[in-house]
Structure 1
Amino acid sequence: MKIVRVEDIIGTDREVTGPGWTSRRMLLKKDGMGFSFHETIIPAGAELNLWYKNHLEAVYCVAGNGTIHDKKTGETHEISDGTLYALDKNDPHTLRGGTEDMRLICAFNPPVTGREVHDEDGAYTLDTSDI
């Protein structure tokens, strides 16, 4: 059994920050669960162009607000507390923070190793090593 508290991750190597986001990686590839699990904070007004070419991601908003714009369909969807979106087709998208910071709970498959940051396409590199 694993017990992970976000307060114990803040300020460690499991808290990774990039332009417009902070990710607290609660479960990683080395934890052997088959997925990684993160708390991500998107500040109000931030704009991120993302395309997880190598990963599927499910995201559940537990606080704040913003929008997600699907670059393939042109649709924009509101995100607020209680909204889940799933990037089930490696969907290129733009995530925008609204009037409040968004607190998102995210699961990635395959799992990330923990130090990933977005590349020029807004993707994470796929780690193909064994655990």
Structure 2
Amino acid sequence: MKVLVVDDSKSIRQIEKRYLLGMGYEVLEAANGKEALQVLEENPDVALILLDWHMPVMNGYEFLKTVRQDPRWNNVKIMMVTTENQEKSVIDAIMAGANEYLMKPFDQEMLESKIRWLMEEAL
């Protein structure tokens, strides 16, 4: 299964990638929402997106709204992985179509449990 990691921090992408590879996922990366849209166009079989909020060019919230307006990606699960912890932001993201929310910093166990819950819910 393909997972797209979208974060402007290369170190965060590397951490998430290492955890995901350990779980058996194929990992794609993008540094902002615009790059992520391109990766999605080229990889229509992406099943899960781990999405940062604060990024240049196109932020995570703008990307989320764009993806959720396109019926091709209705089945893609999107988890916000961010330092953005304002209650309004969490609610905005869920209302815009995020399936789950994970606060940074996180550890491997936290990420794995959220992903397992999210992907089992999809079955």
Task: Return the TM-score normalized by structure 2.
Answer: 0.29
More helix, by proportion: 2
Relative contact order (C-alpha < 8 Å, sep 6+): which is higher?
Answer: 1
Task: Return the TM-score normalized by structure 1.
Answer: 0.28
More strand, by proportion: 1
Higher radius of gyration, 1 or 2? 1
